[in-house]
Structure 1
Amino acid sequence: MKMGWRELIRMRQRFFLMAIVTTLIVLLILMISGLADGLAYDNGAVVRNLPIEQVALSKDAEGQLTRSFLERTDQPAATEALGVQNMVLEKQNGTKEDVTVFASPGDTRYGPRQLAKLKDGQVLVDTQYAKQNGTKVGDSFTDFRTKQTFEIVGTVTDGRYSHAPVVWMTLSTWDDWQQKMGTDYVSAFISGKPIKTTLATYTKQQIVEQVPGYAAEQNSFQMMRVALIVIGSLILTAFFYILTMQKMKQLGILKAIGIRTRTIGQGLVLQVFLLTVVSFSVSLLLTWTVGQLLPDDLPFRFEWTTSLLYGGLIIVTALLGGLIPLRALKKLEPADAMGGMTG
C-alpha cells in the first residue's frame, strides 16, 4: 500500500491528468443521469404526486390514461373518477398550445385541494407553464375544438403529463366540455387502496411507465449511461496497463529483492481506488452544484440514490479493469525484466 501511495505522490502530475479525464467522464454520466431522472419525473409528474395506490382503466387502454374510456356506472366502490384528455388550447393572442386536461370531483380526496373553490368553467394550470408563457390568474383560453372558454383562477405545482402542461378542472366542468364534443365518459377510477374490480388495474408507477414516450426516452438514456461506464472503465484499464508495462524493469528489480507480487498489486489497486473515488466525489459535488443553479423549467433532477449507484458501478468496474495488469505482473521474471540472461 505504501508503495502505491508514494508513487501517486511522486508521479502526481501524470495521475492528476488522469484524474481530470476520469472526473469529466463521471461528470458526464451523472449529468446524463440527472437529465434522465428529470425527464422521467417531468413526464408523469402529475400522476406521481397523486396520493393514490391503484388506478382502474378500460382493458384495451394498455395502461395509458388518455386511451381509457369508462362509463360512470362501472365505478367500483371507494374510488374516485378521473378524467384525462388532450386539449389544444387557443390563447387570447391567437397562439395554440397542447395541454393535458385532468378532472376530479370538487370534493376530491386525491386531486388539488383548490378544486373545491372552482366554479364551472374555471381551471388551474401548471405553475411552470404559467411562468414560461406569461399566463396569469384571470386570463382565459378557448378549447380549439369546442370553442368553450375557460378561466384560469389558480396554479398547481408539478403538474405535467407526457411533458405537456396540465390543466385541472372539476368533473362538472369536464362534463360540460365532453357534452359539447358529443361524449360522456371518464378515463379512470383511482383509489388510495387496492381496487376490487373487473377492470384492468395498475399501480401508480405502472401508469407513469406507460406515459407516451416514457420507455423509449429512458431506454435511450440507459444505453448512454452504460456506454459511458464501459468507456470510462476501459480508459482507466488502459492507463494503468500502459503505466505498469512502462515500469516492468523497476518492478522486476522489486521482485528480485524479495517484494511479493501481492504487495505490488495492492499498491496498484490502491491507486485505481483512490483515483476513481476522488474523481467521483468531485463529479458528485459539481453535479449537485449544477443542479442547484439550473432554472426550474429545465428537467434536471439530482437523485442521490441514482448518483451513488452509478458511482459505485464506476468504481467496481475500474477496480476489475485494474486487475488486468496483475496477470502480466504475476508472470514477470525478474531476470527478464532486467534485460534477460544469455547463454
Structure 2
Amino acid sequence: MFLAWKEIRYAKLRYGLIVGIMILVAYVVFMLSGLANGLADGNRKAIDDWEATTIILSEDSNKVVNASQLQQSDMNRVTAKEKAGIGVYGTAIEKKSGGEKTNVSIFGTANDSFVVPKIIQGRLYQKNNEMIVSENLLSEGYRLNQLIKINDRLLKIVGISKATTYTIAPVIYLNPTAFKTLKYGDHSSGAEPINMIATKGQTTITQQKGQTKLEKMTPATFIENIPGYTPEKLTLNTMIYFLFVVVTAIIGIFMYVITLQKTAIFGVMKAQGVATSYLVRSILAQAFLVGIIGVVIAVGLSILTSLVLPSAMPFAIHHTQWLLYSVILVFVAMLGGLFSMRTVTKVDPVTAIGGE
C-alpha cells in the first residue's frame, strides 16, 4: 500500500485522470440507482403503507388492478383478520377556482378500513363530498378545507395524511359511494364496485359457482404487475450493471497502459530482489485506492445533487443498496487492475533494463 500511494502522489495527473473517470461512472451509477428507486417507491409507496399480507383481485384480471372488477359483496367470500374493499381510480383534479390540473390516485374505501392512513391534520371523511389527501399534494397549492373539482364535482379536503404516492401520483381517500359516483357517474347501479380486496393475517377464499373467481397474491406480486413498474426497474438496473462492466474495462485499460510504461522500473526492482507478488499487490492497491476515492466523491456528489433536484423528479436513496454498489464498484476496479498482473509477472529484469 505504501508503494501504491507513493506512486499515486508522484504521478498525480496520470492517476487523477483515472480517478476522474471513476468518479463520473460511479456518479452515474448512484444517480441511476436513485432515480430507479424513486420511480419504484413512487409507484408502490401507498401499497407498502398498508402493510397488508394479501391482495385479492379477480382471476381474469391478469394481476392488473385496473382490469379487476369486483363488488363489495365479494368481501363476504373472504375470511381474514382484517379486510378492506378498495376501488382504484386515476384521474386529475383542479382547484374550484380553476388553474392547472394535478394527477392523483384515488382509493375508495370505508373510513374505518385498516388501509386508511392516520390523519396528521383535520379529520377522516364522513360524507360523500369529503376526502383526505396525502401531504405531498399541498406542494401543488392545495390546503385543508379547500374545495376541489374532480370530474366536474366538488369535494372538500377535510383531512391530510402523511406524504405518499401510487403510480407516481399523490393519493386521495374517500368513501365507496363517492368513489362510485366519481368513476361511474350518477346513473350507476346500486352496487358498490371495487377493484381489489386487501387483507391482514391468514386469508382464505370461498369460490362460488356463477360468481367472479378470486385470486390472491402477495403485495410484492401485485406491485410487480403495476403497469410500467417492472420494465422501468429492469431497464435502469440493466444500465447500472452495464456500467460495472465499463468500470472494469476502463480501469483495466488505464492500469495496463501505466504498467507497460513502468516495465523498466519493474525490471530494476526485480533485479534488486523485489518479489513479483509485492508488485502485483501494489497494482491492486492502486486500483483499490482509485476505487475508494472515486466512490466516496461520487456518493457525495450524488447526495448533493439529490438536494437540488425538482420535486417532480422522484429520487430515493436506499443506503443498503448504495453500500452494495460501492463495494461492487471498488471490486470491479480491482478486477480491472488484475489485467496488468500478467505483464508484471512476465517482466524479465535483464530485458527490461536494456540487457542482451
Shift of 1:61: 1.9
Q: Does the aligned pair in 2 maintain the 1:45–1:158 contact within 8 Å?
A: no
Q: Which of 131, 154, 160 matches 1:155?
A: 160
Shift of 1:292: 4.0
Q: Does 1:196 align with 2:204?
A: yes
Provide the residue aligned with 1:77 in structure 2.
79
Measured in 2, the distance between the counterparts of 1:96 and 1:293 equals 24
Provide the residue aligned with 2:115 in structure 1.
110
Provide the residue aligned with 2:32 in structure 1.
32
Shift of 1:283: 1.7
Q: Which of 105, 115, 120 matches 1:100?
A: 105
Q: Which of 124, 139, 142 matches 2:146?
A: 139
Q: Does the aligned pair in 1 maintain the 2:8–2:15 contact within 8 Å?
A: yes
Shift of 1:293: 4.6
Deviation string 1:166-211 (CA, Å, 9 cap, x unpaired) is: 2210224224444625253111111122321252112222222222
Shift of 1:289: 3.3
Measured in 1, the distance between the counterparts of 2:47 and 2:133 equals 15
Measured in 2, the distance between the counterparts of 1:250 and 1:88 equals 70
Superposed, 1:280-299 pairs within 5 Å as 280-294=295-309, 296-299=311-314
Q: Which of 241, 245, 267 matches 1:230?
A: 245
Q: Does the aligned pair in 1 maintain the 2:124–2:159 contact within 8 Å?
A: no
After TM superposition, the structure 1 stretch with the greater mean CA deviation from structure 2, 152-161 or 307-316, is 152-161
**Identity across the alignment (%):** 25
Q: Helix, strand or coil: the match of 1:180? A: coil
Measured in 2, the distance between the counterparts of 1:179 and 1:290 equals 45
After TM superposition, the structure 1 stretch with the greater mean CA deviation from structure 2, 41-50 or 175-184, is 175-184
After TM superposition, the structure 1 stretch with the greater mean CA deviation from structure 2, 69-78 or 286-295, is 286-295
Q: Helix, strand or coil: the match of 2:50? A: coil
Q: Helix, strand or coil: the match of 1:86? A: strand
Unaligned segments of structure 1, at least 5 residues: none
Provide the residue aligned with 1:15 in structure 2.
15
Measured in 2, the distance between the counterparts of 1:287 and 1:3 equals 31
Deviation string 1:125-161 (CA, Å, 9 cap, x unpaired) is: 23223312x22223333343xx433222233333322
After TM superposition, the structure 1 stretch with the greater mean CA deviation from structure 2, 94-103 or 56-65, is 94-103
Q: Helix, strand or coil: the match of 1:329? A: helix
Provide the residue aligned with 1:268 in structure 2.
283
Q: Does 1:87 align with 2:87?
A: no
Shift of 1:244: 0.1
Q: Does the aligned pair in 1 maintain the 2:117–2:162 contact within 8 Å?
A: no
Shift of 1:90: 5.2
One-letter identity of the residue aligned with 2:114: R
Shift of 1:100: 2.1
Unaligned segments of structure 2, at least 5 residues: 208-213
Measured in 2, the distance between the counterparts of 1:266 and 1:244 equals 13
Shift of 1:67: 1.8
Shift of 1:30: 0.6
1:223–1:314 CA distance, 2 compared to 1 (3 A): same
Superposed, 1:255-334 pairs within 5 Å as 255-294=270-309, 296-334=311-349
Shift of 1:325: 0.7
Aligned residues: 338
After TM superposition, the structure 1 stretch with the greater mean CA deviation from structure 2, 67-76 or 316-325, is 67-76
Alpha-carbon RMSD: 2.2
Shift of 1:98: 3.8
One-letter identity of the residue aligned with 1:110: V
Superposed, 1:46-85 pairs within 5 Å as 46-75=46-75, 76-78=78-80, 79-85=83-89
After TM superposition, the structure 1 stretch with the greater mean CA deviation from structure 2, 84-93 or 123-132, is 84-93
After TM superposition, the structure 1 stretch with the greater mean CA deviation from structure 2, 273-282 or 159-168, is 159-168
Provide the residue aligned with 2:210 in structure 1.
none
Deviation string 1:71-113 (CA, Å, 9 cap, x unpaired) is: 2232112322111122344543165554321022121222123
